[in-house]
Chains A and B, each alone.
Chain A
């Protein structure tokens, strides 16, 4: 092997090592992220668990004829959470607990909604005030006139 050939082999090795290093950096550069993501799935913190909780209500909105009327609607809530635990469905507008479940990761609840205003609802852990998931039943009206103003005679 000539000196020139040795130099060529050395250059090729260096280039291949650089490529390998760059590739390794790229791979390992992403690896910690993947590991961390996997770690998050396994170890769910309270703040992150709310992102995974789901709370839906159907149908909506509730439509009354005139503003100020009470609106009536049979609704069904559906919730789920990746962790088995004690959960409650709470009307956060009235701060009233509607129903609680023990050692559940999902549930349904139907009830007769009756209100003059839109109401917010939340899924919370039992005896917690932190909302894991939220939803709203909006109340809408066809005729949106306001209350009559008081006045006196003003003829001419």
Chain B
């Protein structure tokens, strides 16, 4: 039954995506990359029509609130984790359509339509496989599996407005779940800046993100039935309804071009994890702030 609803909702979202893509005009135009990429590469007013592909390896070490049954049980219990991963960055634009993937963004594969673009502003309609986890680098909780949620069918649609003022970039996004799983919504605002010190490119991003109660409750809410079931395994496991939340995040990083093909990055991030999330009995530790340090080496094709 649940699968039927998901599939039905996905089908209902497809016409919207189809409209976005088929309504593209055929003028030559560029679009603006996600702030997490633009601010790292000093795109500033350059924005980009950037067709490129980048592959690398990423190492992350961090700490934050831990989730029962997190992906790594040992680290989940004490809130610390370290992991290796792949960096797959790339973008391709064709007329006003684009597809992009930036591993540093915390989003999934983004399909978009560049609706407006001038020297200072850019507005894109976007559909993505994963957006509803701005703090995913720090908040391991959303990776938990004990909440019995299907993580394989994320799909959101929304809009992205990006503004450029010199070395500063602002980005506002609205994303709505299109799978029908929870109909959750996120609204985020981020401001970033790049500083070039010789060939080192430093950047800073500050952001705030609102997540709707539907979204939070889907991931960390506990129904009466589930609470009754899990209380057999975990002491004091009670039902929980999560409310809407606002979290803040900040990051500082540096990007260095080792050669024409190789890029080194180092990023430190901190994000608040709202009480609306950590009050859930799914959380073992309830640190209000999660931190991470990521370093990567990637090859740009």
Instruction: List residues of chain A with CB under 8 Å of any chain B CB.
Output: 61, 63-73, 140-143, 145-156
Contact = CB atoms under 8 A, between A and B. Distances in A.
A156 B23 contact: yes
Given A142-B257, A143-B52, A145-B48, A65 B201 contact: yes
Given A147-B46, A154-B96, A65 B118 contact: no
A45 to B, nearest CB: 41
Interface string B4-26: 00000000000000000001010
A151 B199 contact: no
B40 to A, nearest CB: 8
Contact of A69 (B32, B119, B196, B300): B196
B2 interface: no
A51 B189 CA distance: 62
Interface stretch (B77-85, B220-228, B259-267, B275-283): B259-267
A142 B201 CA distance: 12
B23 A66 contact: no
Nearest to B32: A148
Nearest to B20: A156
B112 interface: no
A143 B115 CA distance: 24
Given A150-B119, A154-B27, A156-B23, A140 B49 contact: no
A145 B49 CA distance: 6
Contact of A151 (B23, B117, B258): B117
Q: Looking at chain B, what size class is its interface with the partner chain?
A: 35 or more
B116 interface: yes
B118 A151 contact: yes
Interface of B: 23, 25, 27-30, 32, 41-43, 45-50, 52, 96, 115-119, 122, 196, 198-199, 201, 255-261, 263, 300
A44 B32 CA distance: 59
B194 to A, nearest CB: 10
B121 to A, nearest CB: 10
A134 to B, nearest CB: 23
A154 B116 contact: yes
Contact of B30 (A140, A148, A156): A148
Contacts of A151: 27, 29, 116-118
29 contacts: A61-B260, A63-B259, A64-B199, A65-B201, A65-B256, A65-B257, A66-B43, A69-B196, A73-B199, A141-B257, A142-B257, A142-B260, A142-B300, A143-B43, A145-B30, A145-B46, A145-B47, A147-B47, A148-B30, A149-B28, A149-B117, A150-B119, A151-B29, A152-B116, A153-B116, A154-B27, A154-B115, A154-B116, A155-B116
List the 6 closest A-B pairs by CB distance, nearest first.
A148-B47, A145-B48, A145-B50, A72-B198, A155-B115, A140-B260
B14 to A, nearest CB: 18
Contact of A66 (B25, B42, B49, B122): B42
A52 B122 CA distance: 56
A137 to B, nearest CB: 14
Nearest to A150: B118
Contact of B199 (A67, A72, A155): A72
A71 B201 CA distance: 11
B113 to A, nearest CB: 8
Given A151-B29, A154-B27, A156-B23, A63 B49 contact: no
Contacts of A73: 199
Contacts of A140: 260
Contacts of B23: 155-156
Nearest to B259: A63
Nearest to A153: B116
A73 B261 CA distance: 17
A141 B258 CA distance: 10
